[in-house]
Structures are given as structure tokens and as C-alpha cells.
Amino acid sequence: MSVPDAQFHPHATGVAAETVAKHQDPQDVVFWAGWFCPFVQRVWIALEERGIPYQYKEVNPYKKEKHFLDINPKGLVPAVEYQGKALYESLVLLEFLEEAYPSQSTSLFPSDPYDRAIARLWIDHISKNYLPNNWRLTQSQTKEKQDEAREALYEAQRKLVQQVKGPYFFGEKFSIVDAVVAPWIARDWVITENRGYERVAVGEAWVKYAKALCERPSVKKTTSEREHYEPIYGRYLRDEAQSEVAKAVRSGKTLP
């Protein structure tokens, strides 16, 4: 969903590059990805957690393959190609992977319908309260706006962590809620180093939760080397990014 517009590294690096290398063979699921994108990472985490066979394809946002645009005219990543048809939107893809591969042993959803609804409620909270303030904090250029966004982000994280049973959202089992939020926690060094954000300001419970997610193998295996994220997030920090997310945040509109 987010398209970098800096001179950026064209493919995954570090541990993520090893993961990519293991997923080159043709499979029923073709995962059209961008190594840098947090929305992509959500789906990537789910694929790794669930052991679904997939073929990783890096989409160069400036040079999209004809086949990719044929099946997915908007050209958005993450996208999943399945039996020749494409789907997009990270949350839709997460639900799709559950339904197309309904193994209860690897499901990231709890089995009880009430708990599944709780998962969706807190994913909704992340979409509406956590993410917009995280982007706003990153892109804001005045101290006043940064202070406001940082406080709103802390508040959203406090509400979320009150629901976390620990170490993961639903307890011992890593779940869909964890997959949805982990990519932003794995990138919070951006706001820590540049925007005065501190995990400990949310509370000790958040420090523990953030650590548990960052140490999760599926999160590590889908994270590239920090130095290659830096030029991309540098453009967000200077509010020069031209991705759909960046433009929406700048104009105060709903995130795409």
C-alpha cells in the first residue's frame, strides 16, 4: 500500500532476504510484495506463521510487471494471486488466507466466535486510532503537532495493551491482532530516534508486548536491515513522501 519514492533499495536484505530466497518456486499463492511496506509485512507474517506455501515476488513500484497490473489494475501491494485471480488490502488478505487455508492448528484467529469478534474490534482500533497517529507523528513538522500525535498514539497503545493477555494479545498463542500491529512496533525506532517517542511512556506492559512481538521469528524473518529503511522513512520524516498513505495523512483524510 505504501510506495516509497526515494532512491530505495530494490529488494529485501538481511534475514528477510533469506526468507525471500526460500520462496522462489511457483506455488498456488503468489505473494506480490514490497519488502519495506508494513502492510505487506502483516500478510508476510501470516504466511510464515501458518506455513502456507507461497511464491514471493518483489514489486518494483516504478516498474510494475505487466502480468501484475493485468490481474491487479490498481497495482497495490500487498496482493495475493490465487488460482489466477488477485486480491489486495492487507486485512482482506489476512481473512482470505484463513478461509482458503482453514487449518485450525495454524489459524491466527481464536476458535470462539466471540473471541474472533474481539480480535476484529481491536484490529479496528489499530486501524482507526493507532496507525493514523503513528503516521501523523512521523510526518508532522511542528513540535505542537508532534506532541499532539505522540500523546494520541500513547493513548491508543495504552488502550490496546490493556487487552493484551501476554505475551501475545490472546495469551500464549500468537494471533491475527499481533500480526496486524507488529510491523509498526518493529519500525518504532523511526519515531523513537526522531520524534521523542518512548515505549516506556506507554507503560511497562507495552515494553514487554513490543519486545515479544519484535522477537517473534515470523517478524524477524520478514524484517530487512535497518539502513535500507532509513532513506524511505527519511522522506516521511521530512513529509516529502508521495505514497497514498503519506498524502492522506498530509491532507487530513482517511487512510487509504
Binding site for a copy of itself (CB under 8 A): 82-83, 85, 87-89, 91-93, 95-96, 99-100, 113-114, 116-118, 120-121, 124, 128, 132, 252-256
**Catalytic residue, candidates 16, 37, 79, 212:** 37
State the nearest-atom distance from the C-beta of 124 to a copy of itself, in Å: 6
**Which is closer to a copy of itself, CB of 76 or CB of 213?**
76
State the nearest-atom distance from the C-beta of 241 to a copy of itself, in Å: 19
Amino acid identity at 215: E
State the nearest-atom distance from the C-beta of 87 to a copy of itself, in Å: 5
Please give the Cα distance from 56 to 44 (Å, whole number): 9
Active site residue 37: yes
**Which is closer to a copy of itself, CB of 1 or CB of 232?**
1
User: Which of 48, 36, 21, 14 minimizes the C-alpha distance to 178?
Assistant: 48
Please give the Cα distance from 54 to 27 (Å, whole number): 5
Helix (H), strand (E), coil (C) string for 7-31: CCCCCCCHHHHHHHHCCCCCCCEEE
Q: What are phi and psi of 238, to 5 degrees?
A: -90, 5
**Which is closer to a copy of itself, CB of 21 or CB of 121?**
121
**Which is closer to a copy of itself, CB of 7 or CB of 254?**
254
User: Which of 22, 40, 27 minimizes the C-alpha distance to 82?
Assistant: 27
C-alpha cell of residue 240: 516529502
Any bridge partners for residue 24, and if so which? none
State the nearest-atom distance from the C-beta of 76 to a copy of itself, in Å: 11
Residue numbers annotated as active site: 37
